[in-house]
Amino acid sequence: MCVLFSRPADDITMNYLHYFSKELVHLSNSLGHKTINKEKDRANRKEIISLIKKQEPNLIMFNGHGSPNEICGHKQEVIVSSDDNPEILKDTIIYSLSCASAAILGKKAVDVGAVSFIGYGQDFALGKDPDSEASPRHDKIAKLFLEPSNLLFSSLIQGKDVKSSVEKAKAKMMENVWYLNTTKSFTEAIYYAPFLFSNYIGLVAHGNQRASIEK
Amino acid sequence: MKNRHIEEIKKQIVIERLRQAPPSVKISFGNSNGGFMSRDQMIEQVEKDTEIGKKIIKIQLEYLRSFKGNTLDGD
């Protein structure tokens, strides 16, 4: 199996996504998949599109800024757009950790041949530890937002189907929302809950729900 | 006229909810230029009726409605 990662890191938010997705790259490697990790400035349109065409990955994870029509890479360069090149995602399962790309691009990609497109139908929110010195590694709040996302993609990498992978992620999101609503361990917790709940509402999957990299 | 009044009430509800949060709360959301918005920056977006501000209102009200619909009953 071939797994492609696009992991820019050119701003604070992307740096957080880059850090937290590192374990997914390790997991993919450890499972013996052909793992192509394009990170930082290598997560650009030219390289990603070339790799998709040449390597025909079974599974792709995009970290990046986005919109209902687009997924971006390094320095917000558009990599895939519903108006330009949705067909390059043909025959692939995609997970897009980007704002709103499931709203239009996701549906269009499936219409033109993508197996499944998992993403967010509205903007993805990420909370950050108020301690300004906290790095991603120590950020307990960001972890609550990104842990469900990692669970989703690790499930896909391990051969589970789209439906169960999304369900697992949503269950974890609700668990974390509940935690934020009830914990006394930090006073800001309850104010992050609406944003994580928004991610729960926004997470959707288009296309074949029973698809997996095993099939 | 009535709709505008309701929208203004929604906006004020959200602003008051955001004001309850500590100023240190930070969220990255939408087109926040890759950075994290503080509580006060979020309030400003809502007050100015920006696209991000409207999305923040939608998020907060969606969350409040979820209590009515028992989505958050934790079972």
- B48 by Cβ neighbours in 10 Å (0-12 / 13-18 / 19+) ranks as exposed
Q: Output the pLDDT for position B45.
A: 94
Instruction: Please tell me the predicted confidence (pLDDT) of residue B30.
Output: 76
Chain B residue numbers touching A178 (CB-CB < 8 A): 72, 74
Q: Which residue has the tokens 């599109």?
A: A49
User: What pLDDT is stored for residue B74 in this prediction?
Assistant: 44
Angle A26-A131-A119 from CA coordinates, rounded to 5°: 45
Alpha-carbon separation of residue A56 from A6, A78, A173 (angstroms): 14, 20, 31
**Cα(B18)–Cα(B43) distance, rounded to whole angstroms?**
7
Q: Which pLDDT band, with edges at 50, 70 and 90, does A135 fall under?
A: confident
CB-based contact A33:A5 (threshold 8 Å): no
Cβ neighbours of residue A63 closer than 8 Å, sequence gap 6 or more: A5, A6, A7, A8, A14, A17, A18, A21, A43, A97, A98
* Cα gap A17→A31, rounded to integer Å: 22
Instruction: Say which residues have a Cβ less than 8 Å from residue B7's Cβ, sequence separation at least 6.
Output: none
Which residue on chain B is closest to A130 by alpha carbon? B24
How many whole angstroms separate alpha carbon A3 and alpha carbon A192?
A: 32
pLDDT value for B5: 87
Q: Could you tell me the pLDDT band of residue A152, with boundaries at 50, 70 and 90?
A: very high
B34 touches chain A (CB under 8 A): yes
The pTM for the full model equals 0.94
Q: Cβ B34–A13 below 8 Å, yes or no?
A: yes
**% of chain A residues with pLDDT over 70:** 98
- As for the ipTM of the complex, it is 0.89
Q: Give dist(CA A165, CA A176) in Å, integer.
A: 17
- Give residue A133's pLDDT band: very low, low, confident or very high (50, 70, 90): low
Using the predicted structure, report yes or no on whether residue A203 has a pLDDT greater than 90. yes
* Residue A113 and residue A87 in contact, taking contact as beta carbons nearer than 8 Å: yes
Are B26 and A128 an interchain contact pair (Cβ–Cβ within 8 Å)? yes
